[in-house]
Amino acid sequence: MAASVDLSRVIFIVMREMRGPLIALITVYSISILGMVFIPGIEVDGEAQYMSIFHAFYFMTYTATTTGFGEIPIKFNDAQRFWAIICLYVSVITWLFAIGSIIRLFQNPFLLRALSEWQFSRGVQRIDSSFVIVCGFGDTGSVLTRGLSDYGFPAVIIDSDEERIKAIQLRNYTVATPSFCGDASVPKHLLEAGLKHPNCKAVIAITNSEEVNLKISALARLLNPDVGIITMSKVEVFEETLATLGGEVHIVDPFKIFAKVLAAAMHNPGFYAFNKWLVREKGATLERYIAPPKGTWIICGYGRMGHEVNRVLSKYGIKTAVIDPHDTKEEEHIERYIVGRTTSKTLSQAGIEDAVGIISGTDDDGHNLGILLNARYFNKELFTIVRQNKHENEIAFRATEVDMIMQPTLVAARKILFLLIAPLLKPFFYYLLENKPGRQEEMEKVINCLRRKVGNRVPHLVTVHFTRDKSKGVLQLLDEGKKITIGELIRDPRAREISLDLVVFVIQSGDQKIVLPPEDYEIQENDQILFCGTGLACRLFNATINSEYKLYYIQHGLYKPRSHIANWMITKLNK
């Protein structure tokens, strides 16, 4: 619908701008042709010859190119030649006027925008699989789109910055990524982006404005009550409003997420390494853990990040000292609160010599790096956490060799990516991080298994739905009344005695979520499974669940005949 509307706008603008030149061309050619038809030519056998309408039209057509192929169908007399001279000059002038109008037309900003909207809508309609609408292509949107592309997940992008939209054309995305420069909070643009398309899975509002994100979320819910909504928000009052929209709404606050990750790393060091490894962070490994020490921590900058980190640290009984230019202390669980900029004096007042860690969390990258260097001068043993606000400063932050870098845009992008490609990862993490006996041992067991099966290769998180269009081999088996277990499915279809290099994390059957399921679990229709493994293992698994022959082999160790004659012969032999 949106594409046809935009096409109508294009046609309307073209016809409006070209109306004058077209009328002029039609008038000039009509008069010229009529003149050539009615002017008598040379006499043949005493009778004046006249040009037909076709010959006159043909003559005017090729003279428009100023090439000329001669006088047809016979030589002209002087009257015809004089009329041809007039027609030639007048038509050339008219064509110059028309060409100038065409040039102005293609410089018309309204036409260019209408064409862009039409092409955008057409690109969205050509997507034949599930996709998401990404509103905002800043650092977060760029990282998220790259991650979605790596997992083969199409994204439709809207951003108000034309330069960012142009940059998309230079990216080597592996999937369709239609993009449009416009205001995502305008309902028309959301509809053009495919908000009501049956394949639209979610709308992701990650612009730089909290108010715009809220408006996009509200419009998406009104225009499509069934679509999922993922919004990045760092303001509590907006989060409260977003939570009341109803339906599937995920509010992503990078500061809250990082604070939880920090707390988890303190109590379960393997979790932080595991999390970084799953998102394929550069240099991430399962061999080395980062364990933030327990003791007094200094928080430099008491904005949103400082509040969230202090809240989590205080919850676990860790003492904190805060340095901030503003006297905004609210929590009671702060041992010392120093008002002022972070300097040598304020660091000494905060107890830098005896502290075990420092968090440089202001909204200025240069200031954060300065705080880090200043703190290391007093205490070289500090555990350092630095906030990186802009992605382009990554080289400088990597050079400092800090223990942990908190980049809000990266944290938010990873969280959203997990929500889209691996929604079952959330209950899996909750299970491993529960404060119950044996959970750390279970995490170590999972990590050891991943070390053995995946190692230094790129990890692939995959969610599989056992439906008729995505695992037809398994569903065919279930329809025949047969059973198959998860342990059988993870066998190598090339050699059934070997297991594939993958680890099953969670199986969801109805409302039940089974974390680290046993191998004898029997697959049911509509089950969902989340596993992690190598790229090859994931492709082999997908091939198995869609092939009755591979399923027969992994269950029986025999190759199922593929022809009717072979089946008939085996039936006779068995008798």
- The 3-class secondary structure across 116-137, one letter per residue, is HHHHHHHHHHCCCCCEEEEECC
Report yes or no on 435 lying in a domain. no
Please give the Cα distance from 30 to 157 (Å, whole number).
49
Q: At residue 565, does pLDDT exceed 80? A: no
Of the candidates 283, 328, 281, 274, the residue with the CA atom closest to the CA atom of residue 306: 328
Q: Indicate if 245 and 263 belong to the same structural domain.
A: no
In the chain, % helix, strand, coil (3-state, to 5) comes to: 50, 15, 35
Q: At residue 108, does pLDDT exceed 80? A: no
- The DSSP result for 410-422, as a single string, is HHHHHHHHHHHH-
Q: Which are the contacts of 386, defined by CB distance < 8 A and separation ≥ 6? A: 359, 360, 361, 368, 369, 372, 397, 400, 402, 404, 405, 406
Which residues span the domain enclosing 466? 454-568
Of the candidates 546, 448, 533, the residue with the CA atom closest to the CA atom of residue 493: 546
Question: What are the φ/ψ torsions at residue 478 (nearest 5 degrees)?
Answer: -65, -35
Q: Indicate if 269 and 336 belong to the same structural domain.
A: yes
Classify burial at 467, counting beta carbons within 10 Å of its beta carbon; exposed 0-12, middle 13-18, buried 19 or more.
middle
Least confident of 205-214, 265-274, 387-396: 265-274
pLDDT at res. 13: 74
Q: 386-405, pLDDT tens digit by residue?
A: 999 888 888 888 888 888 88
Place of tokens 């809508």: 121
Report yes or no on 181 lying in a domain. yes
pLDDT at res. 566: 56
Q: Where residue 192 sits, what CATH number does that domain have?
A: 3.40.50.720
Report yes or no on 436 lying in a domain. no
Type and span of the H or E element at 459: none
Structure tokens at 221: 């819910």
pTM, two decimals, is 0.78
Instruction: For residue 358, give Cα distances in angstroms to 51, 319, 374, 438.
Output: 95, 12, 11, 31
Q: Indicate if 228 and 182 belong to the same structural domain.
A: yes
pLDDT band at 154 (very low <50, low <70, confident <90, very high): very high
Q: Indicate if 62 and 9 belong to the same structural domain.
A: yes
pLDDT at res. 359: 92
Q: Indicate if 398 and 486 belong to the same structural domain.
A: no
Please give the Cα distance from 180 to 165 (Å, whole number).
7
CB 482 within 8 A of CB 509: no
Q: Indicate if 383 and 239 belong to the same structural domain.
A: no
Report yes or no on 439 lying in a domain. no
pLDDT band at 176 (very low <50, low <70, confident <90, very high): confident
User: CB atoms < 10 A from the CB of 155, how many?
Assistant: 26
Report yes or no on 574 lying in a domain. no
Report yes or no on 60 lying in a domain. yes
Q: At residue 564, does pLDDT exceed 80? A: no
Q: 453-505, pLDDT tens digit by residue?
A: 998 888 888 899 999 888 898 998 888 888 999 999 999 998 889 999 999 99
Taking the CA atoms of residue 103, residue 107, residue 113 and residue 117 in that order, the dihedral angle to the nearest 10 degrees is 30
Please give the Cα distance from 541 to 464 (Å, whole number).
10
Q: Where residue 11 sits, what CATH number does that domain have?
A: 1.10.287
Q: Indicate if 416 and 293 belong to the same structural domain.
A: yes
Please give the Cα distance from 89 to 246 (Å, whole number).
70
- Average pLDDT over every residue of 239-247: 72
Report yes or no on 377 lying in a domain. yes
The listed range with the strongest mean pLDDT (31-40, 233-242, 276-285, 565-574) is 31-40
Please give the Cα distance from 481 to 491 (Å, whole number).
21
Least confident of 329-338, 352-361, 381-390, 497-506: 329-338
Classify burial at 126, counting beta carbons within 10 Å of its beta carbon; exposed 0-12, middle 13-18, buried 19 or more.
exposed
pLDDT band at 327 (very low <50, low <70, confident <90, very high): confident
Q: At residue 570, does pLDDT exceed 60? A: no
Q: Indicate if 276 and 369 belong to the same structural domain.
A: yes
Q: Where residue 534 sits, what CATH number does that domain have?
A: 3.30.70.1450
- Average pLDDT over every residue of 266-292: 81
Report yes or no on 449 lying in a domain. no
Q: Which are the contacts of 149, defined by CB distance < 8 A and separation ≥ 6? A: 155, 171, 173, 174, 175, 177
Q: Which are the contacts of 528, defined by CB distance < 8 A and separation ≥ 6? A: 424, 463, 464, 465, 466, 507, 508
Q: Indicate if 204 and 221 belong to the same structural domain.
A: yes
pLDDT at res. 1: 45
Please give the Cα distance from 382 to 235 (Å, whole number).
31
Structure tokens at 573: 């032999």
Q: Indicate if 468 and 547 belong to the same structural domain.
A: yes
Q: Which residues of 208-241 are buried (b: 16+ CB within 10 A; e: fewer)?
A: eebebbbbbbbbbbeebeebbbbbbbbeeebbee
Q: Indicate if 269 and 366 belong to the same structural domain.
A: yes
Q: At residue 241, does pLDDT exceed 80? A: no
Q: Indicate if 278 and 242 belong to the same structural domain.
A: no
List, in sequence order, the alpha helices (H) in 400-453.
408-421, 425-433, 439-453
Domains of the chain: total: 4
Type and span of the H or E element at 339: strand 336-339
Report the sign of the C-alpha dihedral through residues 299, 304, 307, 311, in that order: negative
pLDDT at res. 134: 94
Please give the Cα distance from 81 to 39 (Å, whole number).
10
